[in-house]
C-alpha cells in the first residue's frame, strides 16, 4: 500500500471510530489496524533513503535504473 | 561546397576572368569567353559565375527590412521580399532552415534576416538564403508562442479544469532534464533537504538546441511508460530565450498534457513563462521551486502522522466513554422502569382495595344498616322465615356485634 493510501485508510478508520454504531469488537479491530498502519507509514518516512537514479530503457518497455553520482 | 566557374570558364594560363578581361590580354590571346559572338558563353555559366562572385564577396549577414509578398510554397519553402523605401531583395527560407525560426513573418513586419546572398540560377535572380530571422521586439517569438497557445487552447489543453492535484506525499519523483544541468543539481539539493526519504528518477533529454523538443517529448513518454513515479518535474535552468525555446514547442506541451502523472514545470528564472508552463498541472518559477512544490517537508508529514495517531487514540477513548455512558444510562432507566412498575402495582393494589372496600358489607353497616346472623352457624338471616321466637342471633352493626333475641315474629 502506498504512503498516501495508508494515510487515507487511517483517516477512514478514525472517522469510523468517531461515528456511532461501531460495535466494540469491531472498534478494537479497527484500532489495531490503525496502529499498524501508523507504524508502517512512520517507518516508511523515517527509514526510506531517497536515491537518485537515471532511467534507461533497454528496449521498449524494458527499464533499468542506474544510480547517478552527484 | 562551392565550385569556381572562374577557372573552368577562363582559359588556362590567361590572366583574365569574365569581369577582368583587359584590352592587352584580348590582343595577344584567343578571344576571351564572351568577348565575341563566337565565344558567347552559356547562360548557366554566367549565373554560376555571378553566384560564385556574390557568395565570395558576401559572408552571411543580417539584413533589415520590411516583409512583402510572403508566400509559403507547397513544398514548404518560404519566399518573400525584404524591402525598404528604395530597394528590395528576394529572400527564400528553405523548409529545413525553418527549424531555427520561431514562425513565419507577417506581411509588412519589420524583420532582421540572417543569410547568405546568392544567385538562384534557375531564375537568374539574386536572393538572400535565410537561415535565421526575428522581428523587431521579439515579434516572431511572441507570434509563434501565441499561435501555439491558440492551438493548445482550441484543444482544451489550457483549461483550468484539466489541472491535476499534486500528490500529497510522493515517494518517487520523476524528472525530465539534462543529467548534467544545474536544474538537476538544484532539484536534488531541495529533495535531500526537505524530504530525504524521496527518490528521484531522471529521464534524460537535451534541453536546448534543435533536437531538444524531440528528446524532451521522448523522455516524458519514456518515464510515463516506466510508470513508477508519483509526480513529474520537467525543466531546466535559466538561459537565453533561444535556450528555453524547446519548452515553447507544441509537441512538448502535448506530451506534458498526455503525461500519466501530474506535471510540474520549472523552466529558467522567475520571469520566463513558457508554453509548457501553461499546460503543466503546476507551474513553478524555477527548478528548485518545482522540487519544493513536488515534495512536502518530512517533518511536516511526520507531524501530520502523529496528529492522526492522536486522533486514533482519542477516537477509541471517546468510543469507550460513550459505551460506558450508554451502559450507565441503561442502568438508570432500568431502575426507573422498575420503580415505575412498582408504583403502578401499588396503585393497582390500592385501587383494588378501594373497590373491595366499596363492596364490603362493612361500608353498608357504616351507613346504618345491620346484619343479622345465626349465632351458631353465622348464616345471614335475611328473611322472617329465618327467625323463630326466642331464637338468639347476632346483630352486626357499624362498630361491633350484639346478641339479640326474637320476641315476636310477624
CA-based nearest distance A54→chain B, Å: 5
On chain B, the residues whose CB falls within 8 A of the CB of A47 are 197
**H-run or E-run covering A4:** helix A3-18
Of the candidates B171, B309, B316, which has its C-beta nearest A38's C-beta? B309
Domain coordinates in residue numbering, chain B: 1-54, 58-154, 162-298, 363-405
What would the grid cell of residue B167 be?
500528490
Residues B182, B291 contacting (CB under 8 angstroms): no
Judged by phi (left if over 0) then psi (alpha if -120 to 50, else beta), residue B378 lies in left
On chain A, the residues whose CB falls within 8 A of the CB of B180 are none
Of the candidates A27, A45, A46, which has its C-beta nearest B316's C-beta? A27
Contact between B315 and A2 using a beta-carbon 8 Å cutoff: no
Q: What is the pLDDT of residue B205?
A: 95
| ipTM value | 0.86
Q: What is the pLDDT of residue B5?
A: 44
Contact between B308 and A49 using a beta-carbon 8 Å cutoff: no
A-B C-beta contacts closer than 8 Å: 106
The domain over range B58-154 is classified in CATH as 3.30.70.100: no
Considering the segment(s) B162-298 as one domain, its CATH architecture is 3-Layer(aba) Sandwich (3.40)
Contact between A55 and B222 using a beta-carbon 8 Å cutoff: yes
CA-based nearest distance A5→chain B, Å: 10
Ordered mean pLDDT values, 10 residues apiece, chain B (410 residues): 45 47 55 87 91 93 92 92 92 89 85 93 90 80 84 91 92 95 94 94 92 95 94 91 85 95 89 87 94 94 92 86 84 87 87 75 76 85 84 86 82
Residues of chain A with pLDDT under 50: none
Contact between B305 and A18 using a beta-carbon 8 Å cutoff: no
Q: What is the pLDDT of residue B101?
A: 84
Contact between A48 and B204 using a beta-carbon 8 Å cutoff: no
Q: Does B298 touch chain A (CB under 8 A)?
A: yes
Q: What is the pLDDT of residue B287?
A: 94
CA-based nearest distance B260→chain A, Å: 15
Contact between B169 and A3 using a beta-carbon 8 Å cutoff: yes
CA-based nearest distance B324→chain A, Å: 11
Amino acid at each position: 500500500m502506498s504512503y498516501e493510501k495508508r494515510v487515507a485508510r487511517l483517516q477512514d478508520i478514525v472517522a469510523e471510530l468517531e461515528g456511532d454504531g461501531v460495535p466494540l469488537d469491531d472498534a478494537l479491530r479497527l484500532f489495531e489496524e490503525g496502529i499498524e498502519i501508523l507504524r508502517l507509514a512512520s517507518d516508511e518516512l523515517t527509514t526510506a533513503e531517497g536515491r537518485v537514479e537515471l532511467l534507461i530503457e533497454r528496449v521498449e518497455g524494458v527499464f533499468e535504473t542506474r544510480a547517478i553520482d552527484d | 561546397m562551392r565550385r569556381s566557374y572562374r577557372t573552368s570558364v577562363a582559359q588556362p594560363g590567361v590572366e583574365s576572368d569574365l569581369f577582368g578581361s583587359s584590352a592587352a590580354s584580348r590582343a595577344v590571346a584567343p578571344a576571351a569567353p564572351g568577348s565575341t559572338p563566337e565565344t558567347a558563353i552559356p547562360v548557366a555559366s554566367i549565373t554560376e559565375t555571378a553566384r560564385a562572385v556574390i557568395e565570395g564577396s558576401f559572408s552571411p549577414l543580417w539584413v533589415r527590412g520590411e516583409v512583402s509578398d510572403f508566400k509559403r510554397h507547397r513544398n514548404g519553402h518560404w519566399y518573400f521580399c525584404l524591402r525598404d523605401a528604395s530597394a528590395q531583395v528576394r529572400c527564400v527560407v528553405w523548409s529545413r532552415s525553418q527549424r531555427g525560426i520561431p514562425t513565419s513573418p507577417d506581411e509588412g513586419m519589420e524583420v532582421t534576416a540572417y543569410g547568405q546572398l546568392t544567385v538562384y540560377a534557375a531564375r537568374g535572380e539574386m536572393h538572400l538564403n535565410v537561415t535565421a530571422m526575428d522581428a523587431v521586439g521579439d515579434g516572431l517569438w511572441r507570434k509563434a508562442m501565441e499561435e501555439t497557445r491558440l492551438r493548445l487552447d482550441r484543444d482544451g489543453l489550457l483549461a483550468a479544469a484539466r489541472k491535476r492535484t499534486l500528490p500529497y506525499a510522493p515517494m518517487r519523483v520523476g524528472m525530465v532534464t539534462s543529467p548534467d544541468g544545474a536544474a538537476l543539481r538544484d532539484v536534488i539539493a531541495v529533495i535531500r533537504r526537505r524530504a530525504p526519504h524521496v527518490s528521484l528518477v531522471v529521464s534524460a533529454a537535451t534541453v536546448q538546441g534543435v533536437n531538444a523538443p524531440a528528446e524532451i517529448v521522448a523522455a516524458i513518454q519514456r518515464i510515463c511508460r516506466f510508470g513508477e513515479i508519483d509526480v513529474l518535474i520537467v525543466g531546466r535552468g535559466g538561459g537565453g530565450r533561444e535556450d528555453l525555446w524547446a519548452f515553447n514547442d507544441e509537441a512538448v506541451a502535448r506530451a506534458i498534457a498526455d503525461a500519466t502523472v501530474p506535471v510540474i514545470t520549472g523552466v529558467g528564472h522567475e520571469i520566463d513563462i513558457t508554453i509548457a508552463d501553461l499546460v503543466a498541472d503546476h507551474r513553478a518559477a524555477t527548478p528548485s521551486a518545482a522540487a519544493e512544490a513536488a515534495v512536502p517537508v518530512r517533518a511536516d508529514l511526520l507531524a501530520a502522522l502523529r496528529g492522526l495517531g492522536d486522533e486514533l487514540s482519542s477516537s477509541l477513548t471517546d468510543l469507550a466513554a460513550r459505551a460506558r455512558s450508554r451502559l450507565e444510562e441503561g442502568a438508570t432507566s432500568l431502575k426507573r422502569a422498575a420503580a415505575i412498575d412498582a408504583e403502578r402495582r401499588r396503585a393497582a393494589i390500592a385501587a383494588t382495595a378501594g373497590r373491595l372496600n366499596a363492596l364490603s358489607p362493612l361500608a353498608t353497616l357504616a351507613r346504618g344498616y345491620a346484619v343479622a346472623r345465626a349465632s351458631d352457624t353465622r348464616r345471614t338471616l335475611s328473611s322472617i322465615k329465618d327467625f323463630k321466637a326466642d331464637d338468639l342471633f347476632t346483630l352486626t352493626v357499624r362498630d361491633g356485634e350484639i346478641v339479640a333475641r326474637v320476641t315476636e315474629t310477624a
